[in-house]
Amino acid sequence: MTDANTPMIAPSILSADFANLAAESAAVAHPGPTRADWLHVDVMDAHFVPNLTLGLPVVESLLKATDIPIDCHLMIDDPKRWAPPYAEAGAYNVTFHAEATDDPVDVARDIRAAGGKAGLAIKPKTPLEPYLEILRDIDTLLVMSVEPGFGGQKFIAEVLEKVRIVRTIVDSSDLRLLVEIDGGINADTIEQAAESGVDCFVAGSAVYGADDPGKAVAALREQAATARARGH
């Protein structure tokens, strides 16, 4: 893992070759700057979002194939029922959607009790304000910069205002919260996200669409670090 001040890159396997997930995870697992900080796994249930991807069995297989911490993004209904098993299986961070539950604190508590870090994701059109009072109850806030459900969408820059608000709160308190962004992150968009105060950047095609995924991870992290230094 990188130190707390270094931007984190979490390649999204939604953009990888599903038939070769072990090899695709290994491509970003070499020691040094080309190593990913987290591996981001999108779980979609065809209910909360219209798409269907993969579930717990694939995550369990991936956990055996890589030592990179697994970052599960659950775009699913009923996270109280379905989220804790991902933490029990060994996922490092398990993120569920604010829009999928009436009691996010309860879901987060269950994820933590199962041994994982608890993340809360908010869609681009979901207001941030109702969730500001529960930031202490979660470990990760995932700001969606595209509508969840499909890869390859265009970055929605307006969501960076949410990042700026949360960054200000975190920096002016003793809150330990990781701010993550997901959607349309690439060489053209990562700098504005970094300047806004993002800690962890989910990147799909920007990593797995590159000739060398590891080099892409290193280049994105360096770009984000430079932009963040500029933003402070």
Catalytic residue positions?
42, 182
Q: Please, what is the Cα angle at 150 between 148 and 153, to 5 degrees? A: 90
Instruction: Output 205-208 pairs: Cβ under 8 A, ≥24 positions apart.
Output: 205/15, 205/151, 205/152, 207/9, 207/11, 207/12, 207/15, 207/28, 207/36, 208/11, 208/12, 208/13, 208/15, 208/16, 208/17, 208/24
Structure tokens at 163: 């990042």
